[in-house]
Amino acid sequence: MQSHTFICLIITTCIILSVDINAFALASSSSKVTQQHPQCSSSYSDIRCGASIDDTTIDDNDDDTKQQRFILSPQTITSWYMNKLQTHELQTKFLSAAILALISDLFAQKIGHYMNPMISTKLDKRRMMAMFFDGLMFTGPLLHYVYELYEWILPTHDKEEGGTTSQSDKEKSSSSRKRLLAVTAHVLFDNFVMIFGYISLLMITTGVMEGRASGIPNELRYDFIPAVKVSMRTSVMGLAPIQLLSFHFLPMKLRVLAVNVLDVVWVTVMSYVTHRNRH
């Protein structure tokens, strides 16, 4: 069982790294476009106004160019997601958490069927909807405001001011160390302190929505600590280091996308652990 879980974690980690690399490439590309076309610096989605990723000029009236914009690729999907974050930030974050929770529970049920052939292979739709509404109404909003609180207490980026001069090497080095320290504090606190709140909320909300409210006290008594241990083990095995790299290198707005992708693994593990003893 542990070997299968480890293999699944390695595969999902590779996928996550690929998504993070694509997100970082988009950020670098948009930076190049902004330098050549300052009028396009208002958002990542404005890459299309006058410059392409390969630094060649694009005519917006060209029919071929208009068709190319609709070609699906990691860059275009990320750009579309960033645009939605700018126009409907809270709705995008909450709905993303809900959809990813639904997908994660689907994975968790498939893993449960594989681990225990005695379990019915029929998908538990009520359980999936419980995970969806937990992400939409509880986990999504909680993560948004908790991350805002992290940033308010210990900022991980320097606020840019108009007309500022370039920093010296010494100032850049000091700023980089402070940012790394702040990012590390965010990740450690999120994975090893706030995790107690995340898991207890997950158990309570899904238990109520699945009609198992009477069994919540016993579940918290016997399954809560084992679930916390599994979560911490999952973080140590890969999620926390990847989250640290994402927070340190990606721009603020792209961190949401990185965390949402990481949560697919975490929610899958937590959904499996939380529901394995429910009957």
The amino acid at 135: G
pLDDT band at 128 (very low <50, low <70, confident <90, very high): very high
What is the DSSP secondary structure assignment for residue 44, as one 8-state letter? G
Q: Measure the CA–CA gap between 244 and 184, rounded to whole angstroms.
A: 6
Q: Which amino acid is at 79?
A: S
DSSP letter assigned to residue 49: T
Q: How many CA atoms lie within 13 A of 20 on its CB side?
A: 24
Query: What ranges do the domains of the chain cover?
Result: 2-154+173-275
Which of 258, 161, 272 has the alpha carbon at shortest distance from 226? 272
202-211 pLDDT per residue, tens: 999 999 999 9
- Whether residue 159 is predicted with pLDDT greater than 60 in this model: the reply is no
DSSP string for 29-84: HHHHHHHH-GGGTT-GGGGGTT--TTS----TT-HHHHHHTTS--HHHHHHHHHHH
pLDDT tens per residue, range 66-109: 555 556 677 787 788 778 888 998 898 899 889 988 998 998 88
Q: Given this model, what pLDDT does residue 93 score?
A: 86
**Could you tell me the two tokens for 54?**
């390969």
**Backbone φ, ψ for residue 217 (5° rounding):** -55, -45
In this model, does residue 221 exceed pLDDT 80?
yes
Mean pLDDT throughout 137-149? 89
Residue of 202, 120, 185 whose CA lies nearest to 149 = 185
Q: Which of 259, 264, 270, 267 is nearest to 93 (CA)?
A: 259
